[in-house]
Structure 1
Amino acid sequence: MKLFDAHCHLQDPRIFDKAPQLIASAIDSGVVRFAVNGVSEQDWPLVKQMGETHKPHVVPCFGLHPWYVADRSPNWLKTLRESFDSTPSAAVGEIGLDKGKKMGDFADQVHVFKQQLELAKELKRPVSIHCVRAFGDLLEIMKSLGPFPQGFLLHSFLGSAEMVPEFANLGGYFSFSGFLMSMKASKAKRMLKAVPFDRILLETDAPDALPKSEESEPLQPVEGDDASLNHPANIHNVLVYVASLLEIDKEEVAEASYHNAVRLFSY
């Protein structure tokens, strides 16, 4: 059984020094691909390095996350483009919209998000999207700029079942992490069952989104660190939970989600 962690942050300073061991132990558990998402100009070089060091297991992704929009340099877009020019295998991410924190001008977030979406379309790269309390805005923007033939994933998706068809029609995939376990089970089941089976992805968002569920398998620890930090091998817990809600064998969900991720990231 092979799994693809469709969204994580192994360059995060909380776990970067442990990343080689985390990747090795996750691979031993069957997790053979990791989409590692940059969030700011400062960590794009680290993500690039990880993609080179752990090829072909790590898919590097470069993007300016909404939390870091206010800190961007005047040359951020040029630097981003250069990162893609030097890394043909890279995807765009993590980018998006967030109304969940006090982060200044939302219009500025929208402007930066649109610039990155347009770059993704120009370069024909898939996109990994963060969205918190802004799904209406997101859908409007995606409709105005879409469709997206190379695809985009809505990471740690917790949106409504009603929005699923509209995003899917634009090229959307739906990626599920341990955060799904925070949603009311009946609502999560309804939303999951609205997602086309060829658009379901699994992720850990490591080192965040530690799974917590009675359905879970024993968690993999991040040795010697805060017990709340997530390990890519814990995608198995997400798999078990998603399969239980869909009432499908976990092997079937694993196979579908792996092939869906391979298709999105163009392997």
Structure 2
Amino acid sequence: MIDSHLHLQDPVLFDNLNAVLYDAREAGVDKMVVNGTTPDDWASVSDLAQSIPEVSAFYGLHPWYVNEYPDGWQESLRYILTKNPLAGVGEIGLDKWIPNRDWVRQQEAFLTQLGFAHELQRPATIHCLKAWGKLLECLDNSRFDGAFLLHSYSGPADLVNEFVERGSYFSISGYFFRQDKMAKLKVFELVPEDRLLLETDAPDMMPPKALIRKSIMRSESGGPANHPANLVGVYEAYSEWAGISMEETKAMMIQNFSAWHSR
């Protein structure tokens, strides 16, 4: 099974890496797309990709952290992407939900990173909250014409086709199968089957209790964190929702991941 988006470099997972990997493998996870978020974690993502066969690395500056890294990250990002020719660009994007983030800087950072994805011909992973119109505008104003994943898509239904036409894939996380979030799944009925992927977003986006196979405690809060092994629950929930078998879901995800990752 393929986890199209998670953060294995996050300390809550990284500090327990051997146990986390053992449990994920036992659950049947055989590919993990690990997304960097700041220059401070890119080296950890690189180490994971070089030492763990299941890991595919993406590097990017997440919109939540643009205030903390005003200068210099651009050269570092281009360097690490150049040195890692199989890596993608992510997690990048736009976010108007989180407060006190420089909106102009977000857009500049996003366009810069789309430029790297275009120049180096890499797939991208995009985070977006409450900025869907501006996201379309940025995509149209960039030269990037490759494939990109809108991870945990929560945008409006009437923009699905707009994003499909621009090369988008869309991922569903286990979080969307919570009883209070099920309405978010309605929009995925409009997404072509060959543009769907599944993810955990571990250690975030905790799924409902019925889908949890493993959890790990956060040392700073004492609360539970999402675990990559919960991907099997996401696959099972999606299969039931879509009315197809687990084997059909697995085959579809392999095909879709290959198409996204190779464009």
TM-score by length of 1: 0.90
Match of 1:219 among 213, 216, 223: 213
Match of 1:61 in 2: 58
Structure 1 residue 70 corresponds to structure 2 residue 67: yes
| In structure 1, C-alpha distance between the alignment counterparts of 2:177 and 2:218, rounded to whole Å | 25
Report the CA distance between 1:145 and its aligned residue: 2.4
Report the CA distance between 1:227 and its aligned residue: 4.8
TM-score by length of 2: 0.92
Query: Number of residue pairs matched?
Result: 260
Q: Which string of whole-angstrom CA distances, capped at 9 and with x for unpartnered residues, describes residues 149-185 of structure 1?
A: 3x00001111222211111111100011123135643
Opposite residue 191 of structure 2, the aligned amino acid is V
Match of 1:257 among 245, 253, 256: 253
Q: Which string of whole-angstrom CA distances, capped at 9 and with x for unpartnered residues, describes residues 174-213 of structure 1?
A: 011123135643x334311111111110111100011116
Match of 2:77 among 70, 75, 80: 80
| In structure 2, C-alpha distance between the alignment counterparts of 1:218 and 1:81, rounded to whole Å | 37
Report the CA distance between 1:5 and its aligned residue: 0.5
| In structure 2, C-alpha distance between the alignment counterparts of 1:224 and 1:131, rounded to whole Å | 25
Specify the SS of the correspondent of 1:92. strand
Structure 1 residue 148 corresponds to structure 2 residue 145: yes
| In structure 1, C-alpha distance between the alignment counterparts of 2:251 and 2:52, rounded to whole Å | 23
Q: Is the 8 A contact 1:201 1:258 kept in 2?
A: no
Specify the SS of the correspondent of 2:8. coil
Q: Is the 8 A contact 2:197 2:257 kept in 1?
A: yes
Structure 1 residue 159 corresponds to structure 2 residue 155: yes
| In structure 2, C-alpha distance between the alignment counterparts of 1:122 and 1:15, rounded to whole Å | 32
Map residues 126-205 of structure 1 onto 2, 5 A cutoff.
126-145=123-142, 148-149=145-146, 151-182=147-178, 184-185=181-182, 187-205=183-201
**Post-superposition, which runs of at least 4 consecutive aligned residues in structure 1 deviate over 6 A?**
none
Specify the SS of the correspondent of 1:14. helix
Report the CA distance between 1:243 and its aligned residue: 2.3
Map residues 242-253 of structure 1 onto 2, 5 A cutoff.
242-253=238-249
Structure 1 residue 236 corresponds to structure 2 residue 232: yes
| In structure 2, C-alpha distance between the alignment counterparts of 1:232 and 1:81, rounded to whole Å | 28
| In structure 2, C-alpha distance between the alignment counterparts of 1:257 and 1:200, rounded to whole Å | 7
Segments of structure 2 that go 5 or more residues without pairing to the other structure are: none
Structure 1 residue 117 corresponds to structure 2 residue 111: no
| In structure 1, C-alpha distance between the alignment counterparts of 2:204 and 2:71, rounded to whole Å | 30
Q: Is the 8 A contact 1:175 1:200 kept in 2?
A: yes
Match of 1:107 among 104, 107, 122: 104
Opposite residue 244 of structure 1, the aligned amino acid is E
Q: Is the 8 A contact 1:189 1:246 kept in 2?
A: no
| In structure 2, C-alpha distance between the alignment counterparts of 1:61 and 1:89, rounded to whole Å | 9
Segments of structure 1 that go 5 or more residues without pairing to the other structure are: none
Match of 2:14 among 10, 13, 16: 16
Report the CA distance between 1:29 and its aligned residue: 1.6
Report the CA distance between 1:147 and its aligned residue: 5.8
Q: Is the 8 A contact 2:176 2:185 kept in 1?
A: no
Opposite residue 221 of structure 1, the aligned amino acid is S
The sequence identity of aligned pairs, in percent, is 38
| In structure 2, C-alpha distance between the alignment counterparts of 1:237 and 1:137, rounded to whole Å | 34
Report the CA distance between 1:73 and its aligned residue: 5.0
Report the CA distance between 1:51 and its aligned residue: 0.5
Q: Which string of whole-angstrom CA distances, capped at 9 and with x for unpartnered residues, describes residues 5-27 of structure 1?
A: 00100101222111232123212
Q: Is the 8 A contact 1:99 1:133 kept in 2?
A: yes
| In structure 2, C-alpha distance between the alignment counterparts of 1:223 and 1:52, rounded to whole Å | 27
Match of 1:47 in 2: 45
Q: Is the 8 A contact 2:66 2:101 kept in 1?
A: no
Specify the SS of the correspondent of 1:115. helix
Aligned-CA RMSD value: 2.0
Opposite residue 116 of structure 1, the aligned amino acid is Q
